[in-house]
Amino acid sequence: MKRTILTIGFISLVAALLVSSCIYIDGSSTSYYYSFDYALQGTWETQPGFPYNNVTVVINYDTIRIEDRYIIRPKPLSDFTANSTLKGYSTPGTLYSNDLKEGSIYIKDRGFWQEPIQYRYWVTEFPEYEKRLILWPGNITLYYKYP
């Protein structure tokens, strides 16, 4: 009898561990573990001289905030709720060289995951491009000055 109880307990423990690990791997658990690429995290501002866009984007580990939005033309960020913190993550993307990476940014707004925004991340040596953001119809270009 004691052996049967121990066997049932052991099988139940193994089954519980298996189910919980499958939920984590599947991504259907309630915890949120997607994040933005480390290189994308920080505060990004639009390039001066682009009068039709005045946007500051703050990307943290798993959130994105679009601040001071003044967008006249339809751009990738114009449809999102401004000045509120939104859930989001980025895909690893394709690394073309040490200077160029491309991928997708996913943002959850109004309770739904929106269409992905394509991004291009450039590392440059020009100081005027320190953490600059340029919005194009359909993608975002992020420039980062190499230290």
Q: Mind spelling out the 3-state secondary structure of the chain? A: CHHHHHHHHHHHHHHHHHHHHHHHHHCCCCCCCCCCCHHHCEEEEECCCCCCECCEEEECCCEEEEECCCECCCCCCCCCCCCCEEEEEECCCEECCCCEEEEEEEEEECCEECCCEEEEEEEECCHHHCCEEEEECCEEEEEEECC
pTM for this predicted structure: 0.69
Residues 37, 61 contacting (CB under 8 angstroms): no
Q: Using 50, 70 and 90 to split pLDDT, how confident is the model at 28? A: very low
Identify which of 67, 79, 71, 69 has the alpha carbon closest to the alpha carbon of residue 112. Answer: 79
Average pLDDT over residues 53-72: 81
Identify which of 100, 110, 70, 105 has the alpha carbon closest to the alpha carbon of residue 90. Answer: 105
Decide: residue 105, CB within 10 A, 0-12 exposed, 13-18 middle, 19+ buried: buried
As a whole-number percent, the residues of the chain with pLDDT over 90 amount to 20
pLDDT in tens, 77-107: 878 888 899 999 998 777 787 778 889 999 9
